[in-house]
Structure 1
């Protein structure tokens, strides 16, 4: 097995999926909900945007891409590690997905606390 330092985000997502397959559907719902919340108040989020690394238009495009992939593949992603990891943790969309994951896990009262610990271990520097 590779060390965390050399694992790609796709590989880390695969590990998360293998360890916590029951938590994946709820996480997919959370991403979709986060996308909807931003879209419902797009102007407010755009005005409040202060990320110097990404401009708002790119962030919104990543959000839209993640939402589109979840709408298209959600049921299959919840059952297929490769599809889950490849669609949401590869390419630029990973910036939005990891943001959702690292925001979702510690703020929710999840039944399985170990999921939160695994997210922190795998995706927080």
Structure 2
């Protein structure tokens, strides 16, 4: 296994899924809820979008892409570490999914306390 510093987002997501697969269905539901909120409340999102690295329209695009992939791959994302990581954590989409992981654990939506520790370790060094 490679050192943690050497892992890319896809590898980190694959490891997270493999270790805590039972948390993934609820996380995917939360991610879709966040996507829906952004789509239904764009003005609210725009109001709080200040001094961000990307423009809000780019962020909306990342959310829409994540939502499309979750709908397209459905149960495959829950069952397969490879599908989960390759589809959701490759490219710029990893920025949005990292945000979803962080807010999911910060809000205490996860059931297994180890999930938050794993997210911190892998995605928020």
Question: Under a length normalisation based on structure 2, what TM-score does the superposition of the two structures give?
Answer: 0.95
- Alpha-carbon deviation of 1:73? 0.7
Q: CA deviation at 1:111?
A: 2.3
- What SS does the corresponding residue of 2:50 show, helix, strand or coil? coil
Shift of the alpha carbon at 1:109? Answer: 4.7
Structure 2 unaligned residues grouped into runs of 5+: none
1:38-93 CA-to-partner distances (Å, cap 9, x unmatched) read: 11211121132113310011111101100110111121110011110001100111
Please list every run of at least 4 consecutive aligned residues from structure 1 whose deviation after the TM superposition is greater than 2 angstroms.
none
For the aligned residue pairs, the C-alpha RMSD in angstroms reads 1.1
Could you list the per-position Cα deviations for residues 13-59 of structure 1 after superposition, in whole angstroms to 9, with x for gaps in the alignment?
01101100111111100100111111121112113211331001111
Equivalent pairs counted in the alignment come to: 125
Instruction: Please name the residue that 1:118 is paired with.
Output: 118
Distance 1:23 1:102 in 2: 14
> Which ranges in structure 1 are unaligned for 5 or more consecutive residues?
none
CA 1:108 to 1:2, structure 2 compared with 1: closer, same or farther past 3 Å? Answer: same
1:68 and 2:68 equivalent?
yes
Deviation at 1:102, TM superposition (A): 0.9
- Whether the 8 Å CA contact 2:62–2:96 is kept in 1: the answer is yes
In 1: Cα distance, 2:21 partner to 2:52 partner: 35
SS at match of 2:90: coil
Quote the Cα distance in structure 2 between the aligned partners of 1:72 and 1:57. Answer: 22
